[in-house]
Chains A and B, each alone.
Chain A
Amino acid sequence: MQVPLSWLKEFVEIDQPAEWVAERLTVAGLEVAHIRYVGVPQQTIEGIRQPKSHHLVWARDKILLGAIREVKPHPNADRLVLAMVDYGAGELEQCVTGAPNLRPYLGQGELDPPLWTAFALEGAVVYDGHSEERKLMTLKGKELRGIYNKSMVCSELELGISDEHEGVILMEERAGFVAGTPLQDVLGDVVFDIELTPNLGHCYSVLGVARELAALTNKPLRVQLDANVPVLQEGDSIFGQAKIEIRNPDLNPRFTAMLLKGTQVKPSPYWVQYRLKLSGQRPINNIVDVTNYVTFEMGQPLHAFDYDKLVQRAGGGVPTIITRTPEPGETLETLDGVKRVLGENQILVCDTAGVLSLGGIIGGAETEISETTTNVLLEAASWHFINIRKTCQAQKVFTEAATRFSRNIHPSRAIIGCRRGIELMRQWGGGMVAKDALDEYPKPPAPLCIDLPISEVKRLLGVELSVQNVAEMLTRLAFDVTLMGDTLRVGVPDYRTDMSEGVVGMADLVEEIARVMGYDNIPNTMLHDQTPPQRTNVRNEFEERVRDICVSLGLTENISYRMTAPELEAMLTPQGLPSSLPQARYVQLANPIASDKTVMRHTLLVSLLHNALLNARFTPRQQVFEVGHVYLLGEGQTLPDELLRLGVLMTGARSESAWMQQSSETVDFYDMKGVIEGVLRGLRLRDVRYTLGGHSSLHPARSATVHVGEQAVGAFGELHPLVASAFKLTGAPVLVAELDLEALLALAPKRHAVKPLPITPAVLEDIALVVDESLPAAQVETVIRKAGGALLRDVRLFDVYRGANLPPNSKSLAYALTYQTDEKTLTDKDVAKVRARIVQAAERELNAKLRS
């Protein structure tokens, strides 16, 4: 909302600088997002931060209010005229100008009253009206077709007011106009761009902002716009000339109308147009401008009908305005030229012949004000705010009126707006206002009263205030306060539709008190309430621990979109294979933002593969992980299970290349297995087993399923070549893993014991066993450990050899064995016995041969 400071000053005395006002409003919840300066300088106020403004400041001695006393022809040029300008210097300045809006005054001799204008003298800085882009120029004297000229009558564009450059500014005479007054003091202004939160409907006008300022600065309102706002009513009564019928009082609680006859449609006075322009509204004509002016001024939108067209539609009889919901299939062509199909509950203003306008939102084309309108029926009504909002969204139309109505304007405002509007129309267009007003108001809402014990203020704000002090602050905001001991009985002004009753109302009042006193004046204290029961969030700590382990293993964390598309996840399963993804329904979005973000994910793998592809161009070596949720919607569930998963992806060189090491080997299955082992070891998980394959997204010969105890907890390995090519990852092999952190959380031991350090020396020995190629190494180790018994402390595979000197289809596994016991220092004899047991067991159970 654009609010000119000059307009605010009409309602409340403001002696502080604009920057101070903006800060005070902002801190009180009316955020001034931007300050626009029109001709006047920005001021720097100690303690207030404002962005530097780079606007044109009108020099006080060079840009002045001028009076054009005569317009003379230019002797040498038909398209130029000579404006004889009085700027308070005694002599008239002869100013050469091409302004087309001065031509009609040619040959009229001396003008009385004069034409008031914006006048710039030599040396003044203004915008160059002839330049395509906005650039400043300094006015210099020069000959214009043989006549020396050193001044200028200005357009709005040249002064930085608007883009208007069709003619120069011409103002009607107003009281107090003195030629030579600095223009800053006449048209100079500051416009606040105020962003209002949805609760501040009552501030959605100049009056609304002025009320706030009056309360914040403790000044009275200069002008009260209430139901007694004056109207000169000299015409015949409106009764018998129009009727109103409300059919749905819930959607349309009040409808008022007044009638102006014999008016003239023409442009509004310059000052009205100027005000509307500063407020962001294009002037149209005096009648339509009034509806906008009153909307901006007091927040009550109005709608003007051409009365004669209504009479015509009524077949010459008395028009009846009917508000109702649409008949099936009804349509309306609105002022914006759109033909609208009307939906259920979209309340309409109609007459007996059909639909006139979409109530509270936008008028219809047929009965709008035209150049020839002379009789105006002015509507000021009240509409249910939520219904207005729904209709706007359904019809995709957002107007100044609808924006205000959707913020809940109290029905009491309607008659005030109607009276104010019809009087301004009379003043700006002439004519006679019919006596009386039509006013249908079937269900006036009850007034609101809140009892506020003073203790509530201290309880909620933490600051001690007296009843008198609080009463004074609320009174400044126009609340009607009665003291009842330690309780304030607070009558709420009707326009404060943001206030509630009871305990909520008390909180509402406490907020008002805090706003008026200023949040800065509430002290800063530390919590001194009882400390709540302390709880450890085991799940959260586990999740963070997994992240730390992954980072310690050299992986970089990804966080990806949790939305994906089923088609993308389907790409993880090669055609003809069963899916290894969770069998669950998707949480499906009703309004997805993009075709690749239509559901919540079932797996982290798509995100990881997508990231890998994006990174491939710049960072071929990738070692990343993600810890995050998948969303599985089971049968009969409304809300999905949100389950934690760990995803890992590695591709590219095993180690970084550098000048001393050229890395050519790419990561393989065993790199990923190292990561998985690192994670599981970090979580102290025991009894871990790996079995070949088991996940259809992975290469069947170079992948594994991880088991902890009896439970499968995830899979890892090289991406299946068909999946890799589906995701366009056709370069180096891509290794991925996905682990079920929910399972790992359940399985991870809460504590683990640390082994004491050995107190006896160890005996180290290597053995190599030749076994069948297909025998898994884990099985060999199991046999060795079992046969080795208590004296065999550690077994480590250090070499796998395949070669010519071995029997076909066999391999040699070399193990480093550590023998140790705390009981005694082992002798060679002790060790030889165990070793013999191991070799025998290997021969017997694995058909292994000791390699010599």
Chain B
Amino acid sequence: MSELKQVEREALDALQGVATAEALAAWKSKYLGSKGVVRDLLSKIASIPAEARKAYGQEVNALKDALTSAFDAREAQLAQAALQRDLEGGALDVTLDGRPRQSGRLHPSTQTLRQIMAIWADMGFQVYKSRDVELDDMNFTQLNFPPDHPARDMQDTFYTVDPSVILRTHTSPGQIRAMHELGENGTQPIRVVLPGMCYRFEQITTRSEVQFHQVEGLVVGRNVRMSDLKGTFTQFLKRLFGENTAVRFRASYFPFTEPSMEIDVECFLCGGAGCRVCKYTGWLEVAGSGMVHPNVLRNGGYDPSVWSGFAFGMGPERITMLKHDIQDIRYFWGNDLRFLGQF
């Protein structure tokens, strides 16, 4: 039976020389394949004398087992070596840039608007939108600006060729529309935020624009007090600017609120110590607000001796500028992708 031993030695020697997966497969095919040497030896069993068959069969099977386990060992060895090579070789330059992904972005104004709306939504304020091109009556008279009143000087207006129609100078006319639409003739309370584009007749400079967003808020109820305005707005500002934000309320004047107030927050860039953004005052003016004027409630269909309310207004562009130290408001509608790409 040295023939089998011969085959075994030959095969094992050959296996030692196998270094690649292909060679390994070829070796397996040659010795253990369906037309391989072992199968060939097995098929010769018929020509073996009957008495020797059993022993022959056992020996060929032993050969097969030996070759199979040698193969498995070699295969594992080669896999291990390949794994080792893979792990050790060809380290990448991890400092090279990644493959660019296509990603879109929301405009910074939209991002700030959403942030503002989300906070108010948590407090039960829903979005109400009203038109950009507005009746002069809605923008002014209904909001308690008498015709030709000096308060109109606070608002530089874009007029249209129809003298009764203007571009809204603030989102406040939406107050009247919301009261008419949601108030059910002065019988239902209201809690809404009114975002939208407003327009002012101004030169376009780094600090002033002809159009800008505003977010108005309006609450009307049977039991709405200035203390509620202060408390609610303080909560809003703490969420927008941080838990420790100091807030200052200052008396002011808007024809459509009484009492009226300006709301300042402590400058979040310098912590109130004074810097360029807060013009060294330590305070940033972020909103105007007040209790809804009795005439405005009346114009909205409510009895001002029973109903009261508060309103506020703020500018998302201004807030965005403050938050990101943006010095030029013209960036917002300039749509330069080098600007938009930073948000």
Contact = CB atoms under 8 A, between A and B. Distances in A.
Interface of A: 26-29, 31, 49-52, 197-200, 385-386, 389-390, 406-407, 458-463, 503-504, 506-508, 510-511, 514-515, 519-520, 522-537, 539-540, 544, 547, 550-563, 587-594, 597, 600, 611, 614-615, 618-619, 622-625, 629, 631, 638-640, 642, 655-656, 658-661
Interface string B54-87: 0000000000000000000000000000000000
Interface in B150-165: 150-151, 153-154, 158-165
B29 interface: no
A560 B330 CA distance: 11
B188 A547 contact: no
A530 B219 CA distance: 11
12 contacts: A390-B148, A460-B308, A519-B261, A547-B110, A559-B335, A562-B211, A600-B132, A600-B133, A618-B336, A618-B337, A619-B338, A642-B131
B110 A539 contact: no
Contacts of A386: 146, 148-150
A514 B337 contact: no
A461 B229 CA distance: 9
Given A27-B250, A611-B335, A527 B232 contact: yes
A642 B109 contact: no
Interface stretch (B14-22, B30-38, B43-51, B291-299): B291-299
Given A461-B225, A642-B133, A520 B335 contact: no
Given A51-B279, A525-B231, 16 more contacts: A385-B150, A386-B146, A389-B148, A504-B294, A511-B259, A515-B251, A522-B249, A526-B232, A527-B219, A532-B124, A532-B190, A533-B182, A587-B133, A587-B165, A619-B336, A631-B132
Given A522-B226, A588-B161, A198 B259 contact: no
Nearest to A502: B294
Given A537-B129, A615-B335, A639-B134, A463 B227 contact: yes
Nearest to A590: B159
Contacts of B224: 527, 529
Contacts of A197: 154, 252-253
B268 to A, nearest CB: 14
B114 interface: yes
A631 B188 CA distance: 32
A618 B102 CA distance: 18
Nearest to B210: A593
Contacts of B133: 587, 600, 631, 639-640, 642
B185 to A, nearest CB: 14
A609 to B, nearest CB: 11
B97 A658 contact: yes
Interface in B325-343: 332-338, 340-341
Contact of B337 (A553, A615, A660): A615
A503 B336 CA distance: 51
Interface in B126-180: 126-129, 131-135, 146, 148-151, 153-154, 158-165, 167
B189 A511 contact: no
Interface string B200-223: 011110000011000000010111
Contact of B252 (A29, A407, A560): A29
A624 B226 CA distance: 44
Nearest to B209: A561
A461 B107 contact: no
Contacts of A562: 132, 197, 211
A51 B274 contact: yes
Contacts of A660: 99
B227 A406 contact: no
B237 to A, nearest CB: 11
A290 B283 CA distance: 39
Contact of B253 (A29, A588, A661): A29
Contact of B225 (A199, A520, A525, A561): A525
Given A522-B227, A639-B165, A514 B251 contact: yes
A561 B212 CA distance: 10
Contacts of A642: 131-133
Contacts of B115: none
* Residue of B123, B135, B304 ringed by the most chain A CB atoms within 10 A: B304
B17 to A, nearest CB: 39
A615 B133 CA distance: 30
A531 B125 CA distance: 10
Contacts of A619: 336-338
A524 B230 contact: yes
A459 B308 contact: yes
A593 B148 contact: no
B251 A29 contact: yes
